[in-house]
Amino acid sequence: MASVIRVTKEFSFEMAHVLQNYDGPCRNVHGHSYRLFVTLAGTPVAEKDHPKNGMVIDFTDIRKIVGREIVDLFDHSVAISSDFEAAKLNALKEMFENIRILGYQPTCENLVADFASRIRTKLPGGVRLYSLKLYETATSYAEWFASDNE
């Protein structure tokens, strides 16, 4: 019987956000150096002549998927909820080029859930998203596990 193996790749990107109606300093536009750990699970390819023999998924393929679906979109952006006050949203659009208007409050928790949904549908057959860990600061992170969301 083949073993299920988990592989993890780390990504980093810079992003600003603002939390509408928050009762602390994060109600102001501010940025973070995010670190995202993507863990996938699957059975390694067991075909001697296959170019991916012994791999669950090529780390290069993980980089392409997460790059396209998350890093390329969110790096050096300002994330803001679509519910944000219209006048302030328009002012932010004038000040910043790369605005990500999201259908949710851009907390670390909501971001990691969104990232999971973006990645899950892009994985090749036989590979599944096991977990995500998104660090917002060096000591604060949110985690998403497939087993909690099935």
pLDDT at residue 88, rounded to an integer: 86
- pLDDT over 70 (residue 1): no
Closest CA to 98 of 76, 131, 70, 67: 76
Express each pLDDT in 13-67 by its tens digit.
999 999 999 998 888 999 999 999 999 999 999 999 989 998 999 999 999 999 9
Give the global pTM. 0.94
Express each pLDDT in 88-122 by its tens digit.
889 988 999 999 999 999 999 999 999 999 999 99
pLDDT at residue 27, rounded to an integer: 87
| 81 vs 37: CA distance, rounded Å | 24
Are the C-beta atoms of residues 136 and 109 closer than 8 Å to each other? Answer: no
Please give the backbone phi and psi of residue 12, each rounded to the nearest 5 degrees, phi first: -135, 145
Domains and CATH numbers, the chain: 5-148 (3.30.479.10)
pLDDT at residue 19, rounded to an integer: 94
Amino acid at 26: C
- pLDDT over 90 (residue 150): no
